[in-house]
Structure 1
Amino acid sequence: MTGDQGTGALAVLELLAQEAPAARIEALLHEARRAGAADAELAELARAVELARTVQASAYRGRDREAALAALVDTAHDLTSPYDLDSLLRVIARRARRLLTFDMAYVSLRRTDGTSYVRTSEGDTTALNAGRELGEGPSLGSLAEERRAPVWSADYLDDDSVPHRPGIDAVVRAEGLRAIIAVPLRSGDTTLGALYGADRKVRHFTPDEIGVLLSLADLAALAIQQAALLERTREEVTELERFGSVTNTTLTRVRHLWDCHTRLARMVLDGARLSTLARAAADALDGVLQVRDPGGRPLTAADELPDLDEEAVTRAALQAHTGRSPVPLPGDVWVAPVTAGAEDLGVLVLRASAALTDEDVRLLELAAQSVAALLLIQRGTAAAEGPVRDELLQDLLDRPHHADLHVRERTRRLGIDLDVPHVVVVARPEGGELGKAVAWSSSYAYRCGGLKAVRRGCIVLLLPGSDASAVARKVSAELSPLLGHPVSTGAAGPARGAAGVAGVYEEAGRCLDALTALDGAGGTASLRELGFLGLLLSTDHDVDAFIASTIGPVLEYDETRMTDLTRTLDAYYESGGSPTHAAEALHVHPNTVSRRLERIAELLGEAWQKPAQALEIQMALRLRKARAALRAHRTP
């Protein structure tokens, strides 16, 4: 490349660094053509300009996503205020309109009889929409509620692929609307209504826009439930005061109850961790609190709960979800359901320091709702950040040579520190659809502070940790019960830094392949579990690590105490497992060999003579001897 060509490409880079508009970059190519640049120079510059367009487009998408996430966080804080339902719905519609620059936004609510109506509307120019009955039969909103997924049309009135109703179409014509999107207000397995966005021009909604609107709708559904709870609590207090049955002590308890609930709700939407929320709830209830997932596994705990009757807790959890209320157990233990609509998110297990009052039980219910809110927000945030996080892991897997500073900036924005050890787990569900596993993995990776991607029908997780086997077993233990069928996992690591992720991923994939070849589907395999097979599969063939993991305690014992356990172990295997013949080879008494073998059993475990471990011990001994022989003959 000539100096002028380099200068042209350098000019493109300088404009990119200055965040100059695309028109200025395009102008470089026009100027070069006017100046009569050579064809080769023009081709080089045209390629540089094309790459610059790609970089700018990627940067703009990243900024848009960051802005959307920031707006969602602001919205979450807004929704913590104690609104009545109408005020809350106006805030939701206004936020939707501003967040995605809609001309109009509105919310419909579903009644218990299945009919729906428009409760509030923002940006309308007529009085036809707010309060309108949506009637029966299919429509854009009813389709979104039924499918529990977004439904949209870029040009609604001219789109025959979506259902139409005369009354709704009349409002659309009167408002001059073209593009319309409806997303469900989901609460567990139920739907409260739908959130709509509309434009007065043709508009094709992007996946990012749809994802942001879905996250907003999930937050809105949760806030609607909280507003309904607030209204019920106010009505109860008002009713008690009206009949004169509230003493000062009762009012104090009610106020304390409400203060605790408000504090927990604020913690949820201020971004508190689940462990912090559990600790605050435990302090408010004066006890030890544990949060468990739907499978009964602890997600976090304020403290340990020893001597717990797990069978009784399992039965109480089922009863709590059936009755949708806390269930007491002997010993001042309570089990409270954590639910969102009809969806089971887990349970709270509380061991109180004293018998609970009615107000304490109500506070336990409110604490369970706060935990459910936090889990839903984490899920919504994971979904909103999902494309950004998935894209980052794809880059780490595909391009280990990727610019380190660029990766550091992206990981910093997502709160991920690749300087600490991370392992890679490749999980393959053995049956069923992958969709449910993918949804779970996004939430799980976000909760653990890691990343997720999907490749070749497998879920790839990059998670903090140094024990690949333990992390993989934890993934399998949580995902398998959720799917109802086994999950095979291959794991490798740890890796430090962005450059090591791709190599560790390749090793994890090879471990999963080896697990399949060995007819171990549904199990977990890492280099450590695979033993000498892991040594063969490893990219760096770390002989030292294999020897240390197999006979390291014996080597260390010999080194520190000047004993001959390693030589005894070698002689024992060379003699076909005969202590007598080993003693002859070592020129010691057979009792000496027997005592040494007892010490070896203490160091390596009682299973050291079983075939699988014995094979690896012999392999380690042979590798150690072969390496020593090769080093002895090494040319100086």
Structure 2
Amino acid sequence: MPNGATTHDHVLDLLALLAEEAAPARFEEVLQRARQEAPASEATGHLDDALLRIRALIGAQRQREAGLAALLDAARELSPKDDLRDILDVVIKKARGLLGLSITYVSLREDGGVSAIHASDGETTALNIGRRTPDFLGVAGEIYQKGTARWTPDYLEDSRLERDEQLDAFVRAEGLRAVLGVPLRHGDVVFGVLFGADRRVRHFTPDEVGLMITLADLAAGPIERVRLAARARAELESIERERSRSRTAHVALRHMLDVHHRAFDMVLGGCDLQSLTTLVSHTLDGTVVLRDPGGRTLASSGDIPGLVPSVADTAALEAHTRGEPVRHVDDTWTIPLVASGENLGALTVRPEVPLTEDDTALLRLVTQTLTVAMLLQRGAADTPSGDDLLNALLSGPERQLRVAERARRLSVDPQAPHVLVVARPEGRDLGRATAWASSYASRASGLKTVRDSCVALLLPGTDASAVARKVSGELSPLLDRPVSVAAAGPGQQLDAARSLYQEATRTLEAMHLLHGPGATAAASDLGFLGLLLSDHYDVDGFVTSTIGRVLDYDAHGSSDLVKTLQAYFDAGNNQRLAADVLHVHPNTVARRLERVNHLLGDAWQRPAESLQIQLALLLHRARVALVRKSAAPR
């Protein structure tokens, strides 16, 4: 760079290095040059801050890349293994390396309400393979009960956990502090837990928890495959002793394992979703359709007669709500595709002949493989989920990294005006509402997440009230019970989502207090109360929506409806006293009030509406006085 380079030049150098993904040392060279040219300038300090952020960005990117690479390695290593111990060894070593943990181990559930440790990694003094613990206590107890990941920064100091003396003694002997557990599941059944522990107090980040969950999801299929094979082998041995059905069961098992191996090999080979869908179709001898959360077809082996969009959407919603395959018209099955609680879409299968029990088990296995393929494709493209992006927008500016770019990858226009909708189901229907919201957001090119027992939707639009009514019109009949819906907006940029969410939640609580459950509105629908709830005090909008027709009538005629209304209210709603104040005949006041009745409707004299009109008149008078004052000569 020539002598006399400006801060602007240094910034351009940093941006160029970012674009070419240069090594960190080259960023340091730019900063050193800036320090030599202006050792103590404020601009150099800003460049220092920028360099720190660049380092953090590069570090986070490399950590994500390393995590994805480790997950891909784990998938490759897990695919060919048929021994449970070998599979578990891969899982615990990968988990320990991913998060830099002191100890990792896998506990699998057994009969009798206990779990047994089957594999561990790390230096231990008291952790023995085969050790049994009650499966209703500690971190494992919450995971088995709720089916979700659970972690604690300091296990022995966490008063929320149900204690077990033997378990506490083990943790104390190992010197463990932070503990993270994620479920190993088959369908909606949790059959084990992958644990990681550290010998220091540690708060696990969402990215770290997500890596462990994804690793557990990758491992669950092979583990269940081996467990299924073990059960099948036990059954075959029993059948062999009875000399019946031996050959049939063996063929079915081998076929199941061969298909699962072939599908996993295709995923690791980078095949597309259409190839996997075709494999499922040939294996089950039927028609298969893969759809995304918005109902759009991603891949198919043909058309399924009678499967109209409304039927397919309803079946997908039911499958995601129940968390298991759903059978509907003409022996057609819809299977939910879920990873870490996120709705990835649904697989619809119509076999030529009814599915057997073996076919159903095989369908679960290939569906898991299909889910892994979709996750790996997303990871390779670095595509965020709608929940992640909206959560980042609602969490504040420090979380809003590359918002526009991430939004476009989700088919969301970052420059279009958006409305924020908050919907609260009244009852235990949040799961069904969440599944519906994933589909609705995808269809509307919006975003969705779940917060505080409510579904939040960021949707394109300019009329918050109309969008709220549309959401309520779809969701309330679906749940067959009241749904409270509030909306705020529009916001011209996506970074307005946080303030819109706060306004919508305030409106939701106000509606609940005023009207009870099941109400639908935006702040603009609540009159003067909505003016107070809104982040933008739109006085002109309130006056116009309340008495705008009366103001327009006076402006285009020679009447004094506004003045008559004010005198009428000041006289305590007495027409004769109002006529004396206005120096007109009482019949004149009556005729003017009839015109007001025609303009505002019959309800304008009810207490609530009357209060709104009086407030609008007061604001109108204040506005006129301020205009006159500003126009007066000085």
TM range (shorter): 0.5 to 0.7
Q: Distance in 1 between matches of 2:96 and 2:390?
A: 28
Identify which range, 253-262 or 14-23, moves more after superposition.
14-23
Pick one of 20, 23, 48 that aligns with 2:24: 20
Aligned counterparts, 1:36-435, within 5 A: 37=40, 41=41, 43-126=42-125, 128-135=127-134, 138-157=137-156, 162=161, 164-187=163-186, 189-237=188-236, 239=238, 245=244, 255-267=254-266, 276-290=275-289, 302-306=301-305, 333=331, 335=333, 351-353=350-352, 355=353, 362-371=358-367, 374-375=370-371, 385-386=384-385, 390=389, 394=393, 427-432=421-426
Question: Residue 535 of structure 1 aligns with which residue?
Answer: none
Matched AA of 1:213: M
Q: Is the 8 A contact 2:458 2:497 kept in 1?
A: no
Matched AA of 2:140: G
Q: Distance in 1 between matches of 2:433 and 2:66?
A: 25
Q: Is the 8 A contact 2:96 2:104 kept in 1?
A: yes
Q: Is the 8 A contact 2:75 2:268 kept in 1?
A: yes
Matched AA of 1:119: H
Q: Is the 8 A contact 1:103 1:200 kept in 2?
A: yes
Q: Is the 8 A contact 1:152 1:182 kept in 2?
A: yes
Q: Distance in 1 between matches of 2:258 and 2:337?
A: 22
Q: Distance in 2 between matches of 1:245 and 1:62?
A: 58
Distance 1:216 1:274, change over 3 A: same
Distance 1:274 1:21, change over 3 A: same
The DSSP-based 3-state class of the residue aligned with 1:233 is helix
The DSSP-based 3-state class of the residue aligned with 1:131 is coil
Q: Distance in 1 between matches of 2:475 and 2:237?
A: 45
Q: Distance in 2 between matches of 1:488 and 1:267?
A: 45
Q: Distance in 2 between matches of 1:59 and 1:477?
A: 44
Matched AA of 1:429: A
Deviations 1:332-370 (A, max 9, x none): x465876999x9x999765555x5696xx6235412442
Question: Residue 600 of structure 1 aligns with which residue?
Answer: none
Distance 1:51 1:215, change over 3 A: same
Shift of 1:291: 6.4
Q: Is the 8 A contact 2:239 2:246 kept in 1?
A: no
Q: Distance in 2 between matches of 1:57 and 1:479?
A: 45
Distance 1:501 1:267, change over 3 A: farther
Deviations 1:155-202 (A, max 9, x none): 444555655544334333443433322333345554323221122333
Matched AA of 2:167: I
Shift of 1:109: 2.0
Q: Is the 8 A contact 1:291 1:298 kept in 2?
A: yes
Q: Distance in 2 between matches of 1:26 and 1:437?
A: 54
Q: Is the 8 A contact 2:10 2:30 kept in 1?
A: no
Is 1:459 aligned to 2:456, yes or no?
yes
Q: Is the 8 A contact 2:387 2:449 kept in 1?
A: no
Identity of aligned residues (%): 29
- Structure 1 stretches of 5 or more lacking a match? 464-468, 494-498, 511-516, 526-636
Shift of 1:246: 6.5
Matched AA of 1:370: V
Give the aligned CA root-mean-square deviation in angstroms. 6.4
Q: Is the 8 A contact 2:179 2:198 kept in 1?
A: yes
Distance 1:123 1:328, change over 3 A: same
Matched AA of 2:214: S
Q: Distance in 1 between matches of 2:389 and 2:197?
A: 29
Matched AA of 1:459: A
Distance 1:425 1:167, change over 3 A: same
Q: Distance in 2 between matches of 1:384 and 1:215?
A: 15
Scaled by the length of structure 1, the TM-score of the pair is 0.55
Question: Residue 563 of structure 2 aligns with which residue?
Answer: none
Distance 1:329 1:90, change over 3 A: same
Distance 1:348 1:458, change over 3 A: closer
Identify which range, 220-229 or 450-459, moves more after superposition.
450-459
Q: Distance in 2 between matches of 1:177 and 1:53?
A: 33
Shift of 1:429: 2.1
Distance 1:136 1:25, change over 3 A: same
The DSSP-based 3-state class of the residue aligned with 2:214 is helix
Q: Is the 8 A contact 1:68 1:212 kept in 2?
A: yes
The DSSP-based 3-state class of the residue aligned with 2:193 is strand
- How many aligned positions are there? 488
Question: Residue 575 of structure 2 aligns with which residue?
Answer: none
Q: Distance in 2 between matches of 1:273 and 1:266?
A: 12
Aligned counterparts, 1:418-567, within 5 A: 427-432=421-426, 436=431, 440=435, 452=448, 459-460=456-457, 481=478
Distance 1:304 1:140, change over 3 A: closer
The DSSP-based 3-state class of the residue aligned with 1:121 is strand
Q: Is the 8 A contact 2:288 2:348 kept in 1?
A: yes
Q: Is the 8 A contact 1:184 1:194 kept in 2?
A: yes
The DSSP-based 3-state class of the residue aligned with 2:106 is strand
The DSSP-based 3-state class of the residue aligned with 1:152 is strand
The DSSP-based 3-state class of the residue aligned with 1:134 is strand
